[in-house]
């Protein structure tokens, strides 16, 4: 596993117009780093299905949490 795969990133959904069943506005989602997707302005997000799918970057804003908050979010998942 490379360093990028070990990084933990979270985003908040700000638009779910095209994916209302898969994404909830104002909800926090975990991102899986995918450099190929990023080149196409997409994010690999673990959505409501519990699986990771690609979504437009513009649907989300990135957020940084303290390590203790990140750990709590991962335990709650």
CATH number at residue 36: 2.30.30.40
Q: Which residue has the higher pLDDT, 28 or 73?
A: 28
pLDDT in tens, 10-61: 999 999 999 999 999 999 999 999 999 999 999 999 999 999 999 999 999 9
Q: Which domain holds residue 70?
A: 3-76
1 pLDDT above the threshold of 60: no
H helices of 7-53, in order, are 35-38
What is the tally of structural domains in the chain? 1
Model confidence, pTM: 0.84
| Per-residue pLDDT reduced to its tens digit, 52-65 | 999 999 999 999 99
Residue 28 neighbours by CB under 8 Å, 6+ apart:
10, 11, 12, 63, 73
């Amino acid at each position: 596993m490379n360093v990028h795969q070990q990084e933990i990133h979270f985003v908040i959904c700000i638009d779910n117009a095209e994916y209302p069943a898969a994404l909830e506005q104002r909800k926090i989602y975990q991102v899986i780093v995918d450099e190929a997707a990023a080149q196409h302005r997409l994010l690999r997000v673990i959505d409501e299905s519990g699986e990771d799918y690609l979504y437009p970057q513009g649907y989300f804003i990135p957020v940084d949490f303290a390590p203790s908050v990140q750990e709590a979010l991962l335990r709650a998942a």
